[in-house]
Structure 1
Amino acid sequence: MAEPPDVDMLAAALRRDSADLRLYVAVLATNLADSLPPGAVRVKRRRSLAERMAGREGAVTELDVALGERRLLLRMDRDGRATGEVCHEVRGIVLSRRPVGLDEWIDALARSLSEAATANARAREAAERFLS
């Protein structure tokens, strides 16, 4: 079995482009949805009338990543602030919720991706994509 990616390197790679938070969340949502198994990532968006008319997807309002027994939620408010939540979930039942800041959310995502990479080829590819 392949060795999991280094969690600190993965967290640094995930943090790399977080200066523009709205763009960062949109790119992260797209990359995770493309890289992880189907159903592991759910993205909610808010679309203005202009965005609908232009055929654009709209702004990400919530990113929900489920990896193993961990569910990571990242919500964007209208002012561009992010709030994170790390949940322990078993068989669809949330056993615990913990609000976290963006840095802690990214660390939890990096740990979850690293753990999933040991058992899942698509998760390993997602981790490698962020490291390259």
Structure 2
Amino acid sequence: MLAASLRADSGDLSMYAGFLINTLSASLPAEMVEVERKRGLFGRAKEDSPVLSVGVLFGDHRYTLRREGVGKPVVAQIRHESGGVVMRTETVGMDVWSSQLASALAEYAKSHAAAAQALQKLTSPEMP
């Protein structure tokens, strides 16, 4: 059910990433959630700038949704990292990405109450 919820509306990265950012960043430590926004004229990104990528780190795996620009297709990737070094990057379909992120989040939630609340939000019927 969580994987299906994670896939829902993922075609609109700004809306989907916004939901992920709000839900996961409120429930996970800041170092686990990475957001890249479109930069403006002077190379600065504002909080309301369109999202270009969102990534969530669980252990040595980073789950990332990325696009080259606004209106461009979304690419789902799972990276294996060790000591800050990317060992392998795998581009996968949204079904695989969603399923693996859901598994990682569910495992993390077993020992972290805030993550368990995020799981509940991600699977609620009110999700966009």
Give TM-score scaled by structure 2 length. Answer: 0.78
1:60 aligns with 2:51: yes
1:71 aligns with 2:86: no
Mapped partners of 1:66, 1:100: distance in 2: 16
Correspondent of 1:101 among 82, 93, 101:
93
What is the deviation of 1:29? 2.2
Name the % identity. Answer: 38
Q: 1:80 is paired with a residue of what secondary structure?
A: coil
Q: Which has the higher helix share?
A: 1
Which amino acid is the alignment partner of residue 68 of structure 2?
A: D
Query: Whose radius of gyration is greater, 1 or 2?
Result: 1
Correspondent of 1:37 among 26, 29, 41:
29
Map of 2:75 onto structure 1: 83
Which amino acid is the alignment partner of residue 14 of structure 1?
A: L
Give TM-score scaled by structure 1 length. Answer: 0.76
Q: 1:61 is paired with a residue of what secondary structure?
A: strand
1:10 aligns with 2:2: yes
Q: 1:43 is paired with a residue of what secondary structure?
A: strand
Mapped partners of 2:47, 2:64: distance in 1: 23
Which amino acid is the alignment partner of residue 3 of structure 2?
A: A
| Kept after mapping to 1: 8 A contact 2:13/2:51 | no
Moved over 4 A (4+): none
> Which consecutive unaligned segments of at least 5 residues does structure 1 have?
1-8
1:127 aligns with 2:114: no
